[in-house]
Structure 1
Amino acid sequence: MIRSARMPTLMRGLGFARVAAKLRRRPDSEHELTFNRLLLSSAILVYLLIARAAGSTAAAAALDAAALPFLAFEAIAAALFLHILCFPGISHPRRIAGIACDIGIFSYGLHLSGQAGSALFLIYFWAVLGNGFRFGVRYLALAAAAAVVGFAIVVATTPFWQSQTALAAGLIGALVVIPAYTAVLIRKLSEAKRQAEEASRAKSLFLASISHELRTPLNAIIGLSDLLAESHPIGGDREMIDTIGRSGRSLLTLINALLDFSRIEAGKVETKSEDVDLPLLLRQVRDVVGVMARSKGVRVALHVGAHLPRRIVTDRRHLEEILTNLAGNAVKFTAAGMVLVEVDVETTAEGPQLVVAVSDTGIGIAPESQARIFESFTQADGTIIDRFGGTGLGLAIVKQLVDLHGGEIGVVSTPGEGSTFSFHFPVAVSTTPTEPTPLPSMILLSRTRTRLDGLDAPLLVGRDVAEVRAHLAELTARGLRRPIVLVDAAEAPDALDVVAEALLAGEAADEPCLVLCRRAAGDAPSSAALRRLYTAEIDPSHPAFTTLNVVAALSCDRQPTPQAPVVAKRRLSILVADDNKSNQMVIGKILERAGHRVATVDDGEAAVDRMLAEPFDLVLMDVNMPVMNGIEATKFYRFAALGTRLVPIVALTADATAEAESRCREAGMAACLTKPIDAAELIAAIELLVGDAPPQTLPAVAAPAEPTETVDDEAPAIDGEKLSDLEALGGRAFVDELISTFTDEATRALRALGAAVADEDVAAFRNHAHALRSGAANIGALRVYRMCLDWRRIDARELAVEGERHIHDLERAFAEVRAAIAQRDGEANGSAADPFAGFAAKRRA
């Protein structure tokens, strides 16, 4: 029955869209079965009406007799549907009620209609198989049993079926055999589904592992390139340093694309709308793919349309992935010639559309391969991997991302001549005010500059190609890259190819941006040389010169702005725990340049020891480390430091999944940063976490630190108050797990300590005692802790003389701990206020 308290929720969801959205979010398809129930009952009513109209007295009698039951059935079905809307979760009683309702009404209708309604028998299979395939074998068996009982009652009470005993027996057998066979199929289907889910989980684990393995060296590459950029603010090396950094970040983008591919397949990727500086993005993509292009002698050219705005609103990372994949593929499959990226924004009835075409003069794609080129792990032919490498995922990711943005992508290709990949999807033109890019010094190829008098920029005029080349050399010597050359088409209509070929003689990296000036915008030029250089086309009579402003942003003519070192507001003492030396070096340098003091350790256990022994302001903790990982170290530290100032811990992980961040947060880490570490992001996170905030302190508990002589033979084997506080903080299950872990580790430590005594290995004895001491402190085993603490400085003489006695004393203390643990387990149902009040103080024998 629907409770009145839920009625407001129902009333708010009566809109069709809201109802449909609520039903789509349900964990099963019971609502579909309920809706089908209403449709089917209506269909049966229509069938009986048609039969009565055809003269069937049985149908007429059935309608007269079944009017009230049918109305009751419709009311129950509607009530079940409303109950689903109010309580959309799984409800086993509601499923059972639906089965009883279906079998009951159809059996009643079969009974009343006699021979005329015999065809209604098939509805039993709808009810039985529908419940089985939707809810599993258990509901299949329940519905089949209900159908057998219902039809048996029909046979026993209906004259027509009493006269058809052989047929009735066969149908009852069918109600048993068909569901039984269906159960076998459902089990196989469930097993196949389970295996597919396991394969999907394995794939996700593989992607996360690969992501981690690749991100770790990338952290060093990107971090060191940023540090080098700070120490080389200008000069020839700065361009190479920036290219290293951009290439590393591009590789990071591709790694993220692999994770996105998995998320897209699972339907878990959402688009993010943000302002995108389109010329800047295009320039970055060109620079990244240009490294490989220059090594092959292939030119990468950009062509922007007359309507291209400076900024658009879309998902920047997705657009960068699409462009990098398409341009990178074009360069990879082009041995000689060019790659041209054409970009424009067109206005359509549906709104602005970003239109992009990437053309190359490469190997091309056979017609039979073009239809499957966008499939996952697919290459145009079997020799591609051997000749060019690759995974066959790039174009699949591109298509999925374009589809995700509501667009379309296609390819036109001729084998041996090249390919053109083009796509479009909706975007918005940004309304954010943008400062126009200052126009740099430019060169005009014209006998007069009267047609460009409205241009507010330094302009060098060359009356022929020779003068233009001289001006190019002058601008290059002044440090300008990709100078802009304006060509007056009206004064040299037949010499455009000659100009283009002449300007191609320089280095590809310094290739100028050629802009065609003509009053009436015409078709794109046809010659390959012009298409390589023809960056844009402007109308000199347009006072805003908007397109020229975009070209100026593309030309990358200015030297890189010196990158100021990131400096912290105040000096902190920071511990870096990471087993990778290059990561330690990169993070350490970033922190030192920001003005912080840095200490480093290689594993989680060493980090806990340093955190308990020294006053740090912050800890950067790698999640995956030997001996003890970052999550375990965080948990141990938080419990060992109860009652003291807690140092905030920031997780460093190469696992860029939400699950990894959730595990870090649950362990008590204050934040989670994904490798590669960005210097500015790291310093900002530190300032946010530490800043001027007071240190966090958890409630005090007994003696987690250095126990003194107060720990004597009269003390209990386990500190019950310590365990009570741990249970209040982490729950009974956590304490049980902590005790179980300590018991297992202590058993192994006892054996190892005995072996160390036998071998007279002082170093091994100290190490195993140290490990046992940490576990004893965590659960409050004070005597064990004190013994191990006393053995920190044990020497060879003491080990030889007293070693066996030490082991004997430790075994007795550990036996008392086990006895106390057993007593605790036996009193698990005692008083909640003091669950360890019955602990007996064990004495040494």
Structure 2
Amino acid sequence: MKYFQRAAWLILAIQIIMLVLELWAFQIEDMTLSKGTQDAFDDGWVMMREDGTREDLHTLPYIGKSKAGETVVLENTIPQEYKGQTLYFLSADKQLRVWIDDREVYEFGMTDKRLFGHTPGSIVNFIDIPTDMKQGNIRIEMVSPYADYAAVVTKMTIADRDIAIMGLLKSNLLNIVFCVLILISAIILILLAVVEKISGQGTQGLVYLSLYCLDAAFYYFIETKILSIFYGNQTLYSMLVFMCLMLMPLFLMLYYERSRMGEYNRRYQLLLMVICANIFIQLILQAFDIFDFMEMVSVSHVLVFLTSVFIVASFLEASKKTNGVRLRLEIFALFCMIAGSIMDIIRSYLFKVGDMGKYGRMATAIFSITMVIVHIVALSKNYASSVEERAAAKGRFLAHMSHEIRTPIHAVLGMDEMILRESGEPFIREYAADIYSAGQTLLSLVNDILDFSKIESGKMELVMADYDLCSVIHDLVNMIFMRAQEKGLEFSVSVEADLPSGLRGDDVRLRQILSNLLTNAVKYTNEGSVHLSVSGVRDAEDVILHFEVVDTGIGIKKEDIPKLFEEFERIEEKRNRSIEGTGLGMNITTQLLHMMGSRLCVESVYAKGSKFSFDLRQQVVNENVVGNFKERVEQIRDHVHEAGFYAPDAKVLIVDDNEINRKVIHNLLKQNRVQVFEAESGQECLDMVRQQSFDLIFLDHMMPEMDGVETLHRMRNTDDYPCKYTPVIVLTANAVAGAKENYLKEGFDDFLSKPVIPGKLENMIFTWLPEELLQDTLPEEDISWEEELGRSELEDLPVVDGIDWNYTWLHLSDMELLEYTVGEFYLMIEESAEELENLYQKIDEDDGLAAYRVKAHGMKSSAALIGAVPLAGMAKILEFAAKEHNVEKIRTLTPAFLEEWRSYKNKLKNFVILKEEERTGR
């Protein structure tokens, strides 16, 4: 099919070339409009004035002086061979009579009845020469109500009448083409305005731009003087041309005000008032025959010029802020139109008669076509961006929902973990195990939906990193083995011994792919076995891995295999209704493999089993081979970290603008004897890392003035400082899918979500601290005693409306730390409220939303840390409203949030007093 498509394009190109060559070889004399002869009749004319003076004109055209109302006479002799033919010439704004052999044969404007004004108008006069002409003496009397118009004479031509009409059309052919282009542009712009209106994008003033083009098309069509051939009401044309000229600056100004220049509102309103006043005044003066349109045309010309200058000045001012392609194209189009119009205006005052729209017509055609192109491109970009925005909005919604869902799930699973650890009742432990399994399933469903959303919006990216193949397989074995054992299935793994173990690739996505395949294999296998095999071949510096997942499950019908890769599609719904899942896993798997340059192969025998396989090219970074897989797994297990360690010589820097967050991490690390240093801003962090060495840095993302990303970039760009190679871990509440990859791309070494969970913090430090700084773990009995003591104290805490102490304990599992943190929160309630209130008042200023968002983010973290979950939820809504520039939501919710925030002053008062009394012994 590709070859046929290429052939079609080649054939089309050949045809276009042939047409262009044929057009190039065409001679203008071959045009139908050029048939027949036309003779110039420009010599031998004599002009006589009212004072009796005579003047030989020698040849036409002639531009002379005359008074308003003065009659000027032209005389000549028509050769006998022109009997029965037509003499034609252009006259501008004057009345005239023509006699041949003392017989009146033509008049224009002498007896016309005009409802409004006295403008005689411009016209191409067609004067039929009598067939019985004898001497051929011709006399033309001309009179104009305006000075210097009666004595202006254009070229004259004699030809057969049809040839004369065709000659007029031929001479205006290019002008007609330009007028048609302007008219077509107006139609296209109207259609674009309709499309934008229907699609809800707003018309951007396109209606006014299309009206401008339509108005210009009428104006320039009239200026060609060819309309009188079809409809001879020259008085109508005369009025219409001036009205069109008056409307041009109005439509142009309205378009640019709507599309680009709302910020120049005062200047715009003033000029618009002058334009409208000019139109009304001229209409009134014309209607009452006080002044004629012709006598006021200079005012319209001045307003056209002022409008053009205003628009150009506004564009040049805008170009200082932005200088995109669209802006440059519009400036180019405006300059073309202005240049052409100015040339025509100058010509009209110099020559009085003729085609006064010659250059403006061409320039306006360029302007119109350019604006059509600009708006077609803008419409397509707006459509593409609206599609992206809808996809992004859906992604944000799913991310927000996942965050809200994950918070209670983590709380449930955390409490469930405590039940599993503490309870000795078999049936309670069984219930808790079921809760844990269901919670993990729910989390996996949420993750699937988020991954699908990211892939659909094109924001899923691969993150390359070094990894150990054995470690990946070992993690998968641990995860799948229990599921297979629960169903009574045999689960086996085989890995070729000579495969290199140190590879480079996206191991996170590889785990996800294999996890999906293995999980499905276990889910759809009721008896028998599931087997994972890994083999491969070397290819220079790479290895091509071959993964196979084979099961003895229910199998897939041949016609159902394509359904595996469709989103939200589940095969044999009735048969498999008891099996949980979104129907997204295989779709995500295939798309991830496609991103990795691979594809999934499926072989299945219905009711007997299936085999899923794929090949994946990975870079080899370590030549150590896998060897005996079971022995390698044992080595990995020996190095698995068990909770608890000492690191008294380790120096850790905590950078966070929120003092409570810093104190929490500081206190969480007390039992590990880590030396903790604190910085409350990005600038303070930079000052500290230049002065001393740290082994690990935790850097908050959302900070005022200089956020964590900017701080990291400045830190990395600094030469020769003690912490140049120190690992930097981002601290953030932005724990949605894909956040970690984005932070790693910015240059962070790892990612830790807030509120900080003690176990995750400890594992993070254990992972990144140099091995020589780590000492033996704490005795297990000491840890158990401390945990048990904390739980008993938790039960003695007073009930506080809006605070869940169990949720607090998940992040502050030390009573001294909990009491300190709640006390600090109590002291900063009013101060934080006042700061947010001040930022709320400045929400419309530059960077007002950004500052408001940072503050709301900090208040959210503080509230979540002490277990005020409802309060944290309100702060989160305000934070995301600021992120999405939803000012209306901020204005609606901020007062209610501040009232709720301040209410915790009373809610926590008794708690603080009680703890103070306990501390002082009163």
User: What's the TM-score, normalizing by structure 1?
Assistant: 0.40
Structure possessing the higher radius of gyration over alpha carbons: 2
Identify the structure with bigger relative contact order (alpha carbons < 8 Å, sequence gap 6+): 1
